[in-house]
Amino acid sequence: GAVVSQHPSRVICKSGTSVKIECRSLDFQATTMFWYRQFPKQSLMLMATSNEGSKATYEQGVEKDKFLINHASLTLSTLTVTSAHPEDSSFYICSARDLYADTQYFGPGTRLTVL
Amino acid sequence: QKEVEQNSGPLSVPEGAIASLNCTYSDRGSQSFFWYRQYSGKSPELIMFIYSNGDKEDGRFTAQLNKASQYVSLLIRDSQPSDSATYLCAVKPGGYNKLIFGAGTRLAVHP
């Protein structure tokens, strides 16, 4: 089956630092990847759509300068949370779209805690 | 505004029973429909997808789609305690590259 990995799975950082999260599609090529955020007991919230070789498309209300997305290859997208603050603490999940199957597969998620 | 509606639950069923999860969507041009399962603290996992009207079966799971009524459902036969999770319905509206998710239905299967 389609496998998507994320690294790191868990990160704790100090307020003001930047954190980079990697998302990889391991056995298929993904021209499109998606980044979600989920707070405890709440729904998935789409943050942005990442297209290989072009700029990401951000959802309304998501600060593009704070959440930097790079999709440099067909198997890798990165999300950088810049100048993180405690309110950025959340569960960040990526998904990758398998173009041929037209389905999305999720990575295992990254739990970010900002102190 | 593209919307996907689900009953938040919890839906409580006894072990061995059939669990029926329902979802309605607003965009009549939607073409692709998905069910994901999410355990507490974990990321969503794809269970099934369906594109055509009718039923699609995979093991204990059956997805049902009725485009005229804009309704998609998931049946889980012989429910097990391990099926206890939140089930997310997702729809890909026509012309969209992204999925629209419902808020999810929490299923509790009790022994």
B1 touches chain A (CB under 8 A): no
Residues on chain B touching A109 (C-beta within 8 angstroms):
42-43
pLDDT, residue A99, reads 78
Instruction: Please report, rounded to a whole number, the percentage of residues in chain B having pLDDT higher than 70.
Output: 100
Across A74-91, average pLDDT: 96
The 10 Å CB-count burial string (b at 16+, else e) for B37-63 is: bbeeeebbebbbbbeeeeeeeeeebbb
pLDDT, residue A107, reads 97
- Please, is A27 exposed, middle or buried when counting C-beta atoms within 10 Å of its C-beta (0-12, 13-18, 19+)? exposed
What is the pLDDT confidence band of residue B47, given thresholds at 50, 70 and 90? Answer: very high
pLDDT, residue B23, reads 97
Minimum-distance CB partner of B101 among A44, A91, A109: A44
Across A83-89, average pLDDT: 97
pLDDT at A8 over 90: yes
User: Terminal CA-to-CA distance of chain B, rounded, Å?
Assistant: 41
- CB contact under 8 Å between A49 and B98, yes or no, is yes
- CB contact under 8 Å between B32 and A34, yes or no, is no
B25 touches chain A (CB under 8 A): no
> Does residue A95 contact residue A3 with C-beta atoms inside 8 Å?
no
What is the pLDDT confidence band of residue B97, given thresholds at 50, 70 and 90? Answer: confident
Interface residue of B51, B98, B100 to substitute, partner A, most A CBs within 10 Å: B98
Residues on chain B touching A107 (C-beta within 8 angstroms):
43
What is the pLDDT confidence band of residue A106, given thresholds at 50, 70 and 90? Answer: very high
pLDDT at A10 over 90: yes
The 10 Å CB-count burial string (b at 16+, else e) for A54-64 is: eebbbeeebee
pLDDT, residue A50, reads 92
- CB contact under 8 Å between A43 and B97, yes or no, is no
> Does residue A51 contact residue A71 with C-beta atoms inside 8 Å?
yes
- CB contact under 8 Å between B34 and A46, yes or no, is no
Interface residue of A103, A110, A111 to substitute, partner B, most B CBs within 10 Å: A103
Minimum-distance CB partner of A109 among B32, B43, B88: B43
Minimum-distance CB partner of A32 among B46, B97, B104: B97
Across B33-57, average pLDDT: 96
B40 touches chain A (CB under 8 A): no
pLDDT at A24 over 90: yes
pLDDT at B21 over 90: yes
pLDDT at A86 over 90: yes
